[in-house]
Every structure is written in structure tokens, then in C-alpha cells.
Amino acid sequence: MAVRARASALGLGMEFLRGLDLARGMRTFQLVDAFPSFEDFWEEVRGLPVDRQVDLWEREYMAPWPELLAKQKESYSKIGMDWRKVARTRVFPQFEDHLERMRRLHTGLARALPVSWAGVRKRLGVRFPVRFVIYVGIGCGMGWATRLGGQPAVLFGLENAAEHHDGSRDIWPGVVSHEVAHLAHYEWRRRYGVDHQPVKDHPLWQLYEEGFATQAEREIEGSDAFRIRTGDPRWLPWCESHRRWLATKFLEDVKARRSVRPFFGSWYNIKGHIQTGYYLGAEVIREWRRSWSFESCAVVPEMAVRPMARKALREMATEGETAGRARSRS
């Protein structure tokens, strides 16, 4: 296909410097923009059966970036899901309708990224280079902090962004802040020799990790940042009015060993509201931030994360009860 020829030719050309710290003489970020190749790809396959589209996405569009492809596949295999089935039934059928949205979102991201990166880098004291990748994938996330090519990276999935946003609002500063905060979190823990592994897959660890990035986003960009990202102006008011209930439900689900995916996944919801775990986790970190710096919050010892997060949730779940009991006795 012509798509492969262009993608291969651009394999090196799309990886170029967009940021340069002149004072230090060091590269601060690289941008890999795979969206132009996706537009070429989609132009050639848009009339094909969806199974064929998925096959060619894997073999042609993703060919220049095998590590990026492997990461997406692994993200589904880890949770026991078939990536092809998800792509075929939930992702690819939306591409045609969402193409204009993706174009607007791509333009907005290209415009916002340098400024947002500079701001969050200064606020969090980030001193390492980051590779930013814009691509169209299989629903793994609007933003994804990870490593690619041996260095910290943020992956921006335009297909996920287009699910909830039409490109008319500037969602990207909050996304950039959130994902770079994840990278800063990982770097601080590495620097202090605090390994992620012992509790990484525990629900309370996920609450802590996402809460850290969301609270950083909130402090850098303001509360509107993570409200806007959900695409629902009612989201934050609903979370705030259901704070006690959300904390209680999370604790009950953890105790019963039920999946907490409805708190975090964009394809799941709790009473019609997505990603409420991000709000809840940010509330936990906000309480810690009353006494601690971001860096201190980042390096809580692994085995202390669970009891500390559980304690914070219990306090949320019972807030107001002590005052109520005192009033009833008076």
C-alpha cells in the first residue's frame, strides 16, 4: 500500500525536535506525529470491511512503530481482553464519524503542547526529556504515560479523545499536565529507590497513582481541567455532591474484591458518570498536600500506600457524622 511507503519514509522524519532548552543546551522533548500517516491510511481503507481495516492498521499503519503496537496489544492482554475484538466492535466503527473531530483535536494538541509542556515542567521541576507521540490507536487512552524507545513518553490517542470531545474546547493542557505528572511520579520514586512493584496492581495503588496525577493537573490547570476532560460539565458537581458515597463504594468494592474498573475506565461508568476514581484519588492526595509537598506525596513507601489511602477514604466516607452525633447529644 502507498500508506506503508509514506509511513516508512517518515519513520525518522516524524521524530523531530520541537523543544530545546537553550539555557541548558539539552533537548527537552521530541514529537512523533503519526496522525498524517493515519489520514493517508484511512483514505485507502475506509471502504473495506472492518476486519480488513484492523488487519491493515496492524500491518501497515503501525509498521514503523512496533513498540507502540506491542504496548497497545499488551494493555488488553493484561486484562484478559481480545484487542482485535475491541478494535472491530468499539473503535474502528467510529473512525469515519470522528475523523473531523480527530483533525480538530490534532490541531489543538499541536498548538497546546509546547506551552503546556513548558508550564508543567517548570511547576513540577521536571529535568528529563520526554517523547510525545500523537497517533490513532485502539482505545488505550487519550493520554498514556509510559516509556518508549528507552525514555519517558506520553502517548496521545486521538481516537479516545474524539469519543468524548469534538475539539471545540481546549482539553489538552490538562491532559499534558496529568501525564507528565505521572512521569514525574515515576522519576521521583526511581530517584529515591522506591519500587512500584509490590502494590502496583492493587486498587488502592491505582487510586493513589491516578490521584497524584489528577491533583497535580488540578493545581497546575485549575479544577476545570479535569472536569472538561470528561466532556460533561455536570461531572465535577456530581462527584463533589457524592463524595461520601463514592468513598464508601470504593472501600466496599475493594473489600469485596470487585473490579474497580468502573471508577477509571472511559468505557465504564458509575451512575452514568465516567472516571470518578480520578476525582476520588485527587481528593486523597489533596488531603495529603495540606502537609506535604508533591515530591513527598510521590515517594510514600509502597506498603504505606494502602493503609494511608484506606484511612483517607474512611474519613471521607464518615465526614460529617461526628458533628452530627455531637449535635444530637446537645
pLDDT of residue 123: 87
Q: 202-241: per-residue pLDDT in tens? A: 899 999 999 999 999 999 888 776 666 666 788 889 999 9
pLDDT of residue 8: 34
Helix (H) / strand (E) element for 22: namely none
Name the band, by pLDDT with cuts 50, 70 and 90, for residue 328: very low
Name the band, by pLDDT with cuts 50, 70 and 90, for residue 171: confident
Task: Please state the rounded mean pLDDT for residues 78-84.
Answer: 93
* Helices 203-221 and 172-191, axial angle in degrees (round to 10): 120
pLDDT of residue 197: 53
Query: Which range (52-66, 191-205, 226-240, 285-299) has the least confidence?
Result: 191-205
Name the band, by pLDDT with cuts 50, 70 and 90, for residue 164: confident
Q: Sheet of 15-21: strands edge to edge? A: 15-21, 26-33, 130-135, 151-157, 144-148
**What's CA 197's distance to the chain center, in Å?**
20
Residue of higher predicted confidence among 210 and 195: 210
CA separation, residue 94 to residues 6, 133, 158, 200, 231 (Å): 24, 21, 12, 33, 17
Query: What distance in Å separates the CA atoms of residue 66 and residue 88, rounded to the nearest whole number?
Result: 20
**What's CA 253's distance to the chain center, in Å?**
23
Contacts of 85 (CB under 8 A, 6+ apart): none
Residue 50 has pLDDT above 70, yes or no: yes
- SS3 per residue for 278-313: HHHHHHHHHHHHCCCCHHHHHCCCHHHHHHHHHHHH
Query: Which range (90-99, 145-154, 217-226) has the least confidence?
Result: 217-226
| Nearest in space to 308 (alpha carbons), one of 330, 268, 329, 281 | 281
Q: How high does pLDDT run on average in the chain? A: 85
Residue 64 has pLDDT above 60, yes or no: yes
Percent of the chain with pLDDT over 70: 84
133 φ/ψ sector (left φ>0, alpha ψ -120 to 50, else beta): beta
Percent of the chain with pLDDT over 90: 61
176 near 109, Cβ under 8 Å? no
CA separation, residue 97 to residues 49, 68, 100, 114, 280 (Å): 16, 25, 8, 29, 33
Residue that is written with C-alpha cell 516509556 in the block: 147
pLDDT of residue 266: 72
**What is the Cβ-side half-sphere exposure of residue 101, based on CA atoms within 13 angstroms?**
18
pLDDT of residue 52: 98
Would you list the domain boundaries of the chain? 1-191, 194-320
Q: Which residues of 255-286 are buried (b: 16+ CB within 10 A; e: fewer)?
A: eeeeebebbbbbeeebeebbbbbbbbbbbbbb
